[in-house]
Chain A
């Protein structure tokens, strides 16, 4: 890590792209943990939910029946970690019959073309 970054002078744009459904694989939870850990570094963080990643934000998840931890409430804590830029893909939502009313947090809906521009504008992209 550069000295500038340690002193907080250089702020980079970090984009986390979330593409997986929440419980069938470990990707969604791992991404969330990386975001929370990375939040300590005071960077400019954005999260995009595309493809099956939009299912991560589905309201009303109840996991007692599958004996796994329901981590969806943690997305509502992101704001307190100063992670406030959450985007979802309009095309991904439409393909899955979801609307913003289905989601557990406030998000900004973007077309895939708009997201492509947004990704272009980042310094670092992590994909899960």
Chain B
């Protein structure tokens, strides 16, 4: 896998996800964590943007951060994979490099 992009800011408050998606190339991966997990929520005004980006990029979201914020798994956009901390580590190790959009 090429680059793992990580986003930890709310897409409604900061432009981190927008920046990330501008530079994330097809075949790379995006991991949403901390307030970044709100981008994975269904039914928001960000959903279309995330869904269209997800056609070329694999999206992951950190489960413990979803749970902390009260977001049940069935509120997560279909196709986004929920991972735990070990999964986060695996993704980092599998990737050539990590780009953190803080």
Residues of A with Cβ closer than 8 Å to B?
A: 20-25, 51-52, 55, 58-63, 65-66, 68, 70, 72, 94-97, 102
Shortest beta-carbon distance, A74 to chain B, in Å?
14
Give the contacting residue for A52; candidates B38, B68, B72, B75; CB below 8 A. B38
Which B28-83 residues have a C-beta within 8 angstroms of A?
34-35, 38, 41-45, 47, 63-65, 67-72, 75
Residues of B with Cβ closer than 8 Å to A?
A: 8-10, 12-13, 34-35, 38, 41-45, 47, 63-65, 67-72, 75
A21 to B75, CA, bound (A): 17
Within 8 Å CB of B13, what residues of A? 20-21, 51-52
Give the contacting residue for A65; candidates B10, B12, B42, B64; CB below 8 A. B64
Shortest beta-carbon distance, B69 to chain A, in Å?
6
A-B contact count (CB 8 A): 69
- B68 A24 Cβ-Cβ under 8 A: no
Complex A-B: 27 CB contacts under 8 Å: A20-B13, A21-B10, A21-B35, A21-B38, A23-B34, A23-B65, A23-B68, A23-B69, A24-B34, A51-B12, A52-B10, A52-B13, A55-B38, A58-B69, A61-B67, A61-B68, A61-B69, A62-B67, A62-B68, A62-B70, A66-B64, A66-B68, A68-B68, A95-B12, A96-B41, A97-B42, A97-B43
Within 8 Å CB of A95, what residues of B? 12, 44-45
- B44 A55 Cβ-Cβ under 8 A: no
